Structure 1
């Protein structure tokens, strides 16, 4: 575990520097061409090899519990209502308890996966698809339905607070490409082509111990330049226990540069606001930071994303 626990602010990027970075990762990423983006890097052989990661058979969720109480980071909380068979209304004979959920899929508290149609940049979606395919009835291209058969592969968790010797990264801290490489070394793991990469910043632990805050203004995440690490390694999916993007942004005029680079340029499905607090102890116990991972978005044709409950099998 590294002794350096200082914040990693990372350099600010001018517009021209960000454009050059965008072109670099777009060119170098091994993204597919059939509307599935980087998911095409997860071949059947890759899945079979990932199954060999299972040693103990223990399973753990990587999702946070869906919240229905509004807070400073979740003003538009999920609405959960019971619609039948509640206390005081239950009679004799057969009845069914029923309920209804309504939620903002892309909020700042609930675990979700971003579809390739989620990010509009310069009037286009990933792969140059016209943003006109986003209609009032849903997305006509690149919706979350491209992942309807699930995403299965080798998950790799890089724990940056563990690397720095702190419980979490403070809001505004950046994870750099150097951090990711150093975490690989410290954890005796190497990220490879087709991997599902998960990066821990400790957001849920900080929130649990210190309380919620306005994450739209301040949160830890990846520095945009860290995306070259993912492009060079051929990562197929990126997941984080925050938004993946740092706030405030380090790029003038681009509020979510990691989303632009990951989704739009590289064709990565991004998973936001996961939680790894149950997985870390298992990885530490086994001294192994890779695992079989199963991600199953809901069947929502035309949707820009989905609530998600990734399962790690250690």
Structure 2
């Protein structure tokens, strides 16, 4: 890992927001210039119990009703005659389209900005909790690497390189700028329905060198349409982990399981992006509903 790339203390010793500090009012006002058609689209997958991939060792969402139409048929009455339905969802915070908080991964004994790992407790993260994010908004950029390669999805062992990103930018006539939120399409989520065994065995993703290429351009966040952003199986050596590099060293945000195939058909590569996590006090990740406005 290139230890010269770090954002520790860049925004002060008490910083817990990382690259979000790059999202200034001027940055947001400039980003709105990429709204041309007034169209809006969600990049989130539905939260449901079936037909949605979940990272191994995590359980799918459980959704159940506590009050439904059957209760009234069996004789339940409510004051005034108004009938309601009520439901619950139980799920991992990283179990659908989501963002990783800055307390999600670390090495040695320190999380982002040098905070001690002792701040990550069974009761929640005392530092760098996901509630510190509040919102992510600004200029979004889509790098459609699958389209660049002329395929529906990248090969299961494909590692995206800096050269791929450069070629993609050239073909799409865009430049990655400071404060951008970069989304990368591999097409891999489409494999889940056709070949779930292959889907979980290996996945294409963004290599560490490509991540460093993006980090040098001072982006805020990086999202992809796979389970881990980086290739899977994930790198066991922490010094080669994209997660450790982006989150711990740089305070940049990773967003996983984005639904990009439909939006990619629009061939809109610059847009206004906005997403917000649930304000889970001390959480290390949260479901999000990423929105593109173009």
Which of 62-71 and 75-84 deviates more? 62-71
Distance 1:214 1:31, change over 3 A: farther
Distance 1:72 1:185, change over 3 A: closer
- Give the whole-Å Cα distance in 2 for the aligned partners of 1:31 and 1:230: 18
Please report how far the alpha carbon of residue 42 of structure 1 lies from its aligned counterpart in structure 2 after TM superposition: 1.1
SS of residue in 2 equivalent to 1:23: coil
- Cα pair 2:9 2:113 within 8 Å, conserved: no
- Aligned residue runs from structure 1 range 261-300, under 5 A: 261-282=245-266, 284=267, 288-300=268-280
Q: With structure 1 as the length reference, what TM-score do the two structures score?
A: 0.84
- Equivalent position to 1:238, from 216, 222, 227: 222
- Give the whole-Å Cα distance in 1 for the aligned partners of 2:140 and 2:124: 30
Please report how far the alpha carbon of residue 183 of structure 1 lies from its aligned counterpart in structure 2 after TM superposition: 0.4
Matched, 1:76 2:30: no
Is there any run of 5+ residues in structure 1 with no aligned partner, and where?
A: 1-20
- Aligned position for 1:41: 22
- Aligned residue runs from structure 1 range 1-314, under 5 A: 21-26=1-6, 32-33=11-12, 34-69=15-50, 73=54, 76-87=59-70, 89-90=72-73, 93-107=81-95, 110-148=96-134, 150-208=135-193, 210-213=194-197, 217-242=201-226, 243-249=228-234, 251=235, 253-254=237-238, 257-282=241-266, 284=267, 288-314=268-294
- Give the whole-Å Cα distance in 2 for the aligned partners of 1:201 and 1:244: 10
Please report how far the alpha carbon of residue 71 of structure 1 lies from its aligned counterpart in structure 2 after TM superposition: 7.3
SS of residue in 1 equivalent to 2:3: helix
Please report how far the alpha carbon of residue 290 of structure 1 lies from its aligned counterpart in structure 2 after TM superposition: 0.4
Distance 1:239 1:141, change over 3 A: same
Superposed CA deviations along residues 246-294 of structure 1, whole A, max 9, x for unmatched, are 1234x55349811111111111111011111221122x2xxx4100011
- Give the whole-Å Cα distance in 1 for the aligned partners of 2:167 and 2:232: 23
SS of residue in 1 equivalent to 2:6: helix
SS of residue in 1 equivalent to 2:70: coil
- Cα pair 1:143 1:302 within 8 Å, conserved: yes
SS of residue in 2 equivalent to 1:38: helix
- Give the whole-Å Cα distance in 1 for the aligned partners of 2:191 and 2:233: 18
Please report how far the alpha carbon of residue 212 of structure 1 lies from its aligned counterpart in structure 2 after TM superposition: 2.2
- Cα pair 2:188 2:199 within 8 Å, conserved: no
Aligned residues: 284
- Cα pair 1:30 1:234 within 8 Å, conserved: no
- Give the whole-Å Cα distance in 2 for the aligned partners of 1:66 and 1:169: 25
Superposed CA deviations along residues 87-142 of structure 1, whole A, max 9, x for unmatched, are 364456222111000111224xx101000000121121111111100112110010
Please report how far the alpha carbon of residue 32 of structure 1 lies from its aligned counterpart in structure 2 after TM superposition: 3.6
Distance 1:252 1:116, change over 3 A: closer
- Give the whole-Å Cα distance in 2 for the aligned partners of 1:225 and 1:129: 26
